[in-house]
Structure 1
Amino acid sequence: MSGSDHRVAGNPCLPEHVAIIMDGNGRWANLRGLPLLAGHRAGGEAVQRTVRAAAKRGVKWLTLYAFSSENWRRAPGEVADLTGLLRYYLRHKVAELSREGVQLRIIGDLSRFPVDIQEEARRAEQVTAANGRLVLVLALSYGGRADIVQAAVRMAQAVSRGEIAASAIDEKVFAGALQTAGMPDPDLIVRTSGECRLSNFLLWQSAYAELVFLETPWPDFDETHFDTVLAIYSRRERRFGARPT
């Protein structure tokens, strides 16, 4: 779906799909003399605020970079804390999401997580599958380069089986082999805590996304910040490579 405008019908100033790189939990905790786990817990609360804000404002897709493929390189204790928080939210917050009309989807390599988390994640997807107010996509053990590579492998296998001719592979066909198949590309990508890079997040899908970088650490992100990034987006002119008229 690259190269097309997916803004919400009837409101061209509102992005249909917002994606967020949630950065700054550790720095937030350090500045307050708190353990790292306190920062991650506060970040979880920011997730809940952001989901509510997105649903309230009519955003249809919200993708959160919750755990990158590179996060497995962190200290074992921090990885255990992150997976423990993920387990808690999958077990105890999915019913609340469902009551709010939120559908949950997972992208990434779930096989690297403990079996119980894999099962909880798939159960959460099934329980919320019929909801349509907002689609919340959690990127877990996700990497943009790995996503592109696995899509290329799938295309190569399809060609070798005679299911498709190599000459028939275009951007649309290739996008259908990505983990985000069927999703609109993000209109707006936000990163918190002052870093100005994508860090291997939705590399193919972000080709025409508007980028906003905030100094605010993720645990402090709230509805006011969400409104700020929406206002910034509303002032951008999206031309998708065309010259201004």
Structure 2
Amino acid sequence: MTAPADSGTATGGAAVPQHLGIILDGNRRWAGARGLSPVDGHRAGFARIPEVLGWCEDAGIGTVTLWMLSTENMRRAPAEVAALESIIYATVEDLRARGRWRLNRVGVPGHPWRRFLDPLDRMIAATAGVDGPLANLAVCYGGKQEIVDACRTLLSTYASARCSPADAARRLTAGAVSEVISNGVPAPDLVIRTSGEQRTSGFLLWSGMHTEYAFTSVYWPDFSRRELSEALAQYRTSSAGHVRATAA
């Protein structure tokens, strides 16, 4: 999910971002504030996804990347992880059944969570023919791991081509890594993070080098069209300022 290396900012002055990333943060805190379990918070948060994707579609956003589950999340208590897996299955099946979005998963290959990820990837693959916006589902995703996996993919390709170590090192460029990570998707123009945390946590670490960020204190289950509209308005203002500065 990135533009070619060293191609300048992702923010090109468009009124609407081509690619929006969202860090779905605050499910557990939302639940805790209501005396509910963390699983109740996850269930409430993931239930919002189809509606939010609909708002993004209405706004003309062609690609949305949702950080649904990190590699660190997989190290939580087994009961919570099992519940998250079940909720994610149900969410993806719902999105597939609606037939409005072409789904794609970004994150680690199946190993070491093949039992969970293989069925998920099959559900996602069933949407390949959908003629609609792209929803990238970041499941078992980590920003550093994404870069490592891209380098491994390239090195495996070079080894298959019987490249020497020196030739492989020469070919392993920022542009080559970008091409693997992007998979033809434009760089994210804007990332929204809910819950009041003002940090990236490594989300879209490589491709988000020039990405605008919008932070809201609202927990993800309470995220509304208003928060989306405010983030898009902030992006338009920032984008217009960038265009003026570039023109000057």
Q: TM-score range by the shorter chain?
A: 0.7 to 0.9
Give the corresponding residue for 2:119.
120
Q: Which amino acid aligns with 2:111?
A: S
- How many angstroms does 1:244 deviate by? 6.0
Determine the C-alpha separation between the residues in 2 that align with 1:56 and 1:82: 28
User: Which of residues 61, 71, 74 in structure 1 aligns to 2:73?
Assistant: 71
1:90–1:120 Cα contact (<8 Å) kept: no
User: Which of residues 34, 37, 54 in structure 1 aligns to 2:36?
Assistant: 34
User: Which of residues 193, 197, 200 in structure 2 aligns to 1:198?
Assistant: 200
- How many angstroms does 1:232 deviate by? 0.8
Indicate yes or no: 2:148 matched with 1:149.
yes
CA distance 1:156–1:239, change in 2 (3 Å): farther
Once the two structures are superposed, what CA deviation does each residue of 1:152-184 show, in whole Å capped at 9, x if it has no partner? 233334445229654344332221232x42211
TM-score, normalized by length of structure 2?
A: 0.86
1:104–1:135 Cα contact (<8 Å) kept: yes
Determine the C-alpha separation between the residues in 1 that align with 2:147 and 2:218: 30
Determine the C-alpha separation between the residues in 2 that align with 1:131 and 1:7: 27
- How many angstroms does 1:132 deviate by? 3.2
1:14-25 superposed matches below 5 A: 14-25=16-27
Q: Quick check: 166-175 or 126-135, which moved more? A: 166-175
TM-score, normalized by length of structure 1?
A: 0.87
Q: Which amino acid aligns with 1:156?
A: L
Give the corresponding residue for 2:177.
174
CA distance 1:244–1:169, change in 2 (3 Å): farther
SS, match of residue 132 in structure 1: coil
1:106–1:138 Cα contact (<8 Å) kept: yes
Determine the C-alpha separation between the residues in 2 that align with 1:209 and 1:114: 31
Determine the C-alpha separation between the residues in 1 that align with 2:126 and 2:9: 30
1:153-168 superposed matches below 5 A: 153-160=152-159, 161-162=162-163, 166-168=169-171
Determine the C-alpha separation between the residues in 1 that align with 2:157 and 2:47: 43
- How many angstroms does 1:36 deviate by? 1.4
Q: Which amino acid aligns with 1:167?
A: R
Determine the C-alpha separation between the residues in 1 that align with 2:55 and 2:246: 34
CA distance 1:119–1:146, change in 2 (3 Å): closer
SS, match of residue 36 in structure 2: coil
Which runs of 5 or more residues in structure 1 are unaligned? none
- How many angstroms does 1:42 deviate by? 1.0
CA distance 1:182–1:217, change in 2 (3 Å): same
Indicate yes or no: 2:221 matched with 1:222.
no
Give the corresponding residue for 2:111.
111
Indicate yes or no: 2:134 matched with 1:132.
no
Aligned residue pair count: 237
Indicate yes or no: 2:61 matched with 1:62.
no
Q: Quick check: 105-114 or 25-34, which moved more? A: 105-114
Q: Which amino acid aligns with 1:133?
A: G
SS, match of residue 190 in structure 1: strand
- How many angstroms does 1:114 deviate by? 5.6
Determine the C-alpha separation between the residues in 2 that align with 1:174 and 1:189: 21
1:159–1:166 Cα contact (<8 Å) kept: no
1:105–1:136 Cα contact (<8 Å) kept: yes
Which runs of 5 or more residues in structure 2 are unaligned? none
Determine the C-alpha separation between the residues in 2 that align with 1:71 and 1:86: 13
SS, match of residue 32 in structure 2: helix
Higher relative contact order (CA 8 A, sep 6+): 2
2:9–2:210 Cα contact (<8 Å) kept: no
Aligned CA-pair RMSD = 2.4
SS, match of residue 72 in structure 2: helix
Determine the C-alpha separation between the residues in 2 that align with 1:213 and 1:145: 22
Determine the C-alpha separation between the residues in 1 that align with 2:8 and 2:61: 17
Q: Which amino acid aligns with 2:148?
A: V
- How many angstroms does 1:59 deviate by? 0.2
> Share of identical aligned residues, percent?
32
